[in-house]
């Protein structure tokens, strides 16, 4: 059980606790749960309250004795009996369930809308009948006075299936292209249909005509996403809540076209389900990321539940604080909010239990198993275990026993723990070790200059603080604590990036930082000698006497120099000069490093040439025959030359080859690939003039020459 406190409202997660993998046998599950100390405090309110893959929708029967939930995979429905706190039955389908309705007080009559255009009607014994609808359905509601089942979907028609006669009736024709959701008021039985165009249509089933239309989308003209209606719920005969695809909830009185209140979820996700709590004047709204409880008059948020995986649906027991959630996960969640109402009668022990419960930390990963990816598996040399019982495939990796993983880790990196242990000991000693002279200061040891800048900014924002504005303080924020304590986050001034940014950083608040530093140093000395303070006239410090003996003219000169320095810093020409100088220094440093590398390579080449010359001078042994391509010295020399050539730029490489071979250029990596290239001289002015005249002459000749089509063949008779 996990407890969270939001706005002094406690929310109890009854599904939280240690979990074990699904692939384990029941015996191993029980043994692992018995080993855990906190498993005794774990609450399993309803046994096997889960799905094999994903739970899509969940409902409570009208008599509040059965919980019905659908999910995958294989598509199925589960019925849980609350009096026994266990599953009653489970049935499977041929396709996934979009939504379903309970027609009777218990589970004896149900109807399921499936994603393949089929509707299944179930009785207490199982499936009673199965039929197909003309278009894909998205939602359906049962009208008990007429025994009509209204189905809306991807067409403008609102289909009517009469369950008493067992046939389709004349459908209602809507003005919208398609409908997303429908709802029937339990008091006056008015049918409300939410469309894709962002309108709500009211239909009277008695005379089969449309009563009115409310345009919800007109309330959000600047929304980036079109506000289609995705959820609806009635509170009583007059009030209704409408949810949109943009994450807004509107409270309407059906006698008015203007909403009473508009609530923004601030998630920009479609609203999936709505609910009311009339006794607490609260509204329940659900999107895929969050479930919110808020006041229907002021919109103030009372409590919320964040999802670890996407929410699909929720249901609540009337006049109680119990909630059930269907989500994109194996578990179906159970939450209890005492402020929304007492616990149901079948779990009244929760009221006594929640008074003594304390908040606990929930771990989502299995304790005795370690998740490992394919890359980590190769690094540890455990590829041979793939396919065995020691590895269980899961998503993009595997689950492995934690003890086996630690053994392989210790084998591959035997000194990793020793290094970690020494580092921790060193850190502990550094924290416990204290110098003789303790100076109380708020400045950190790491990134001191950055801390000085932050302090200066805070002092400049004193006017804003006077207006009761809460400004963030980086030095006191725990998120940035390591930046001023861990040396790994220290700013390195020798890097090229810092050198390029140095002129800009120096220009920003250079004098202010120096003044702040002086003030802090003076404060340090004052704190250190607070008990031994003496009058200023009796001070023996030479610096103080020197400062006291300065004349006013000298102080004026110093102020003048400081003003000149500040004016130089503010000059844009000086700033551009400093930036150019910084870039030149970085470029010069890079060139110097390249020259040093070239010098090292030349030394290596010279050493290799000397070794070759010495080897040639020695007489070859008649018993041994040297093979050139197997000579290690030659091979090492070729490798060195190849590395040196690879480090050269393309321009230097081409020049070197041209200088060695003249106009012969090496192509490819082979030894016989050569090609000749020549550079033609640029044509002179006379040559260009001659070429222009020849071109003009050819154009004139084309105009004078008669085409061959003008010639006609004459027939000649030969006898």
For the stretch 166-183, pLDDT in tens is 889 999 999 888 999 999
Give me the pLDDT at residue 548, please.
44
Give the pLDDT of residue 180: 92
Give me the long-range contacts of 616-622 (CB less than 8 A, separation at least 24): none
CA 546, CA 549: separation in Å to the nearest integer? 5
Name the pairing type of β-strands 118-122 and 97-102. unpaired
pLDDT (tens digit, 9 = 90+) per residue, 552-582?
444 445 444 444 444 444 566 676 777 777 7
Q: Say what the pLDDT of residue 494 is.
A: 76
pLDDT (average), residues 418-441: 70
pLDDT at 128 over 70: yes
367 contact partners, CB below 8 Å, separation of at least 6: 18, 36, 402
pLDDT classification of 497: cutoffs 50, 70, 90 = confident
Q: pLDDT-based confidence at 611, cuts 50/70/90?
A: low
Q: What is the pLDDT of residue 552?
A: 45
More confidently predicted of 317 and 468: 317
pLDDT of residue 628: 42
Average pLDDT over residues 603-619: 59
Pairwise CA distance, residues 293 & 275, whole Å: 9
**Residues facing 132 on adjacent strands:** 118
pLDDT band at 410 (very low <50, low <70, confident <90, very high): confident
Residue 717, pLDDT score = 55
User: Distance between CA 660 and CA 654 in Å, rounded?
Assistant: 10
Q: How far is CA 25 from CA 14, 238, 331, 388, in A?
A: 24, 54, 18, 17
pLDDT for 291 beyond 70: yes
Tens of pLDDT, residue by residue over 665-718, are 545 544 455 565 555 666 777 888 888 888 888 888 888 776 665 555 555 555
Report which of residues 1 and 475 the model is more confident about. 475
User: Is the pLDDT at 92 greater than 90, yes or no?
Assistant: yes
Cα-Cα-Cα-Cα dihedral sign, residues 268, 248, 216, 283: positive
Residue 241's Cβ-count burial label (10 Å; 0-12, 13-18, 19+) is buried
Average pLDDT over residues 99-122: 93
Position 371 scores a pLDDT of 84
Among the listed residues 320, 323, 287, the one whose alpha carbon sits nearest the alpha carbon of residue 306: 287
22-51 pLDDT per residue, tens: 556 666 666 655 555 444 456 778 888 889
Q: In this model, does residue 232 exceed pLDDT 90?
A: yes
Q: Tell me how many degrees the CA angle 235-236-238 measures, rounded to the nearest 5.
A: 105
pLDDT at 698 (0 to 100): 87
pLDDT in tens, 363-404: 444 557 788 888 888 888 888 888 888 888 877 888 888 888
Average of pLDDT values for 437-461?
A: 69
What pLDDT sits at residue 357? 59
pLDDT value for 535:
46
Strand 179-184 and strand 333-336: the pairing is unpaired
**Which one has a higher pLDDT value, 76 or 590?**
76
Other Cβ atoms within 10 Å of 38 Cβ, number:
11
Peptide bond into 74 cis (omega under 30): yes
| Residue 171 main-chain phi, psi, to 5 deg | -75, 160
Torsion angle of the four alpha carbons 65, 274, 303, 474, in this order, in degrees rounded to the nearest 10: 140
Q: How far apart are the first and last CA of the chain?
A: 123
| The predicted structure's pLDDT at residue 510 | 60
- Between CA 158 and CA 605 the distance in angstroms is 87
For residues 654-661, average pLDDT: 66
Say yes or no to pLDDT of 543 above 80: no
Tell me how far CA of residue 496 lies from CA of 499, 584, 595, 621, in angstroms: 5, 11, 18, 56
What lies within 8 Å, CB to CB, of 502 at 6+ separation is: 493, 582
Structure-token pair, residue 563? 């003003």
The single residue listed with the structure tokens 């998120």 is 479
Domain range summary for the chain, segments of one domain joined by +: 369-432, 436-521
Structure tokens that stand for 499 in this block: 């050198």
How many Cα atoms within 13 Å fall on the side-chain side of residue 714? 3
- Give mean pLDDT, residues 591-613: 65
DSSP state of 706: P
Which range in 440-454, 551-565, 601-615, 650-664 is most confidently predicted, on average pLDDT? 440-454
Q: Which pTM does this prediction carry?
A: 0.51
Predicted confidence at residue 625, as pLDDT, reads 41
Q: For residue 636, which phi and psi values (nearest 5 degrees)?
A: -65, -40
Buried b / exposed e across 249-269, counting CB within 10 Å, b at 16+?
Answer: bbbbebeeeebebebebeeeb
Say what the pLDDT of residue 562 is.
47
Contact between 137 and 150 (Cβ < 8 Å): no
Mean pLDDT of the chain: 76
Cβ atoms 247, 268 nearer than 8 A = yes
Each as own residue / partner, the long-range contacts of residues 388-394 (CB below 8 Å, 24 or more positions apart, any chain) are 392/21, 392/23
Give the pLDDT band (50/70/90) at residue 514.
low
pLDDT in the model for residue 621: 44
- Tell me: pLDDT of 661 over 60: no
Mean pLDDT of 262-268: 87
78-89: average pLDDT:
92
pLDDT (mean) for 140-145: 92
Any idea which of 14-18, 83-87, 182-186, 712-716 has the lowest mean pLDDT? 712-716
- What pLDDT is stored for residue 664 in this prediction? 52
> pLDDT by residue (tens digit) across 49-83?
889 889 999 999 999 999 999 999 899 999 999 98
């Amino acid at each position: 059980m996990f407890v969270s406190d939001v706005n002094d409202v406690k929310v109890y997660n009854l599904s939280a606790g240690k979990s074990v993998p699904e692939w384990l046998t029941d015996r191993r599950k029980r043994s692992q749960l018995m080993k855990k100390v906190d498993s005794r405090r774990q609450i399993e309110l309803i046994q096997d309250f889960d799905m094999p893959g994903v739970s899509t929708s969940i409902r409570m029967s009208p008599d509040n004795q059965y919980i019905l939930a659908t999910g995958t995979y294989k598509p199925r429905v589960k019925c849980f009996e609350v009096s026994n706190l266990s599953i009653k039955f489970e049935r499977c389908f041929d396709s996934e369930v979009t939504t379903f309705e309970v027609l009777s007080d218990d589970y004896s009559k149900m109807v399921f809308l499936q994603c393949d255009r089929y509707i299944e009607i179930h009785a207490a014994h199982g499936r009673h009948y199965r039929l197909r609808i003309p278009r894909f359905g998205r939602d359906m509601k049962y009208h008990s006075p007429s025994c009509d089942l209204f189905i809306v979907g991807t067409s403008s028609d609102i289909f009517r299936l009469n369950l008493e006669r067992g046939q389709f009736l004349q459908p209602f024709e809507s003005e919208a292209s398609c409908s997303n959701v429908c709802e029937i008021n339990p008091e006056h039985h008015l049918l409300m249909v939410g469309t894709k165009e962002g309108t709500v249509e009211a239909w009277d089933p008695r005379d089969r005509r449309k009563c009115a239309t409310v345009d919800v989308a007109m309330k959000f003209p600047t929304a980036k996403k079109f506000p289609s209606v995705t959820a609806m719920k009635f509170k009583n005969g007059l009030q209704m809540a409408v949810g949109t695809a943009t994450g807004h909830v509107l409270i309407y009185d059906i006698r008015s076209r203007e909403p009473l209140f508009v609530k923004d979820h601030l998630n920009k996700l479609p609203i999936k389900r709505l609910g009311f709590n009339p006794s607490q004047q609260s509204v329940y709204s659900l999107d895929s990321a969050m479930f919110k409880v808020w006041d229907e008059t002021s919109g103030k948020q009372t409590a919320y539940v964040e999802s670890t995986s996407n929410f699909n649906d929720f249901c609540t027991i009337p006049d109680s604080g119990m909630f059930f959630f269907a989500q994109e996960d194996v578990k179906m969640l159970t939450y209890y909010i005492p402020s929304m109402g007492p616990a149901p009668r079948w779990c009244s022990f929760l009221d006594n239990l929640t008074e003594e419960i304390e908040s606990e930390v929930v771990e989502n990963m299995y304790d005795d198993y370690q998740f490992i990816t394919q890359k980590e598996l190769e690094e540890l040399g455990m590829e041979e275990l793939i396919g065995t019982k020691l590895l269980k495939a899961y998503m993009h990796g595997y689950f492995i026993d934690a003890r086996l993983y630690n053994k392989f880790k210790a084998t591959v990196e035997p000194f990793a723990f020793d290094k970690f242990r020494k580092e921790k000991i060193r850190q502990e000693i550094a924290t416990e070790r204290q110098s003789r002279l303790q100076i109380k200061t708020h400045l950190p040891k790491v990134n001191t200059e950055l801390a000085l800048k932050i302090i200066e900014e805070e002092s400049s924002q004193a006017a804003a603080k006077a207006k009761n504005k809460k400004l963030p303080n980086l030095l006191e924020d725990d998120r940035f604590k390591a930046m001023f304590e861990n040396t790994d986050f220290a700013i390195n001034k020798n890097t090229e990036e810092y050198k390029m940014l140095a002129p800009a950083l120096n220009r920003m608040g250079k004098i202010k930082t120096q003044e702040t530093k002086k003030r802090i140093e003076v404060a340090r000395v004052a704190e250190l000698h607070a008990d031994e303070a003496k009058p200023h006239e009796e001070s023996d410090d030479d610096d103080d006497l020197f400062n006291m003996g300065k004349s006013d003219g000298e102080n004026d000169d110093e102020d003048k120099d400081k003003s000149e320095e500040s004016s130089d810093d503010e000059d844009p020409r000086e700033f551009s000069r400093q930036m150019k100088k910084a870039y030149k220094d970085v470029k010069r440093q890079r060139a110097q490093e390249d020259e040093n590398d070239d010098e090292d390579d030349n030394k290596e080449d010279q050493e290799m040439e000397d070794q070759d010359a010495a080897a040639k001078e020695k007489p070859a042994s008649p018993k041994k025959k040297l093979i050139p391509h197997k000579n290690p010295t030659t091979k090492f020399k070729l490798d060195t030359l190849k590395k040196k050539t690879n480090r050269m730029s393309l321009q230097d490489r081409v020049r070197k080859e041209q200088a060695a071979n003249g106009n012969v250029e090496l192509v490819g990596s082979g030894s016989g690939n050569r090609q000749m290239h020549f550079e033609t001289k640029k044509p002179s002015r006379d040559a260009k003039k001659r070429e222009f005249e020849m071109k003009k002459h050819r154009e004139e000749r084309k105009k004078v020459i008669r085409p061959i089509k003008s010639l006609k063949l004459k027939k000649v008779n030969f006898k």
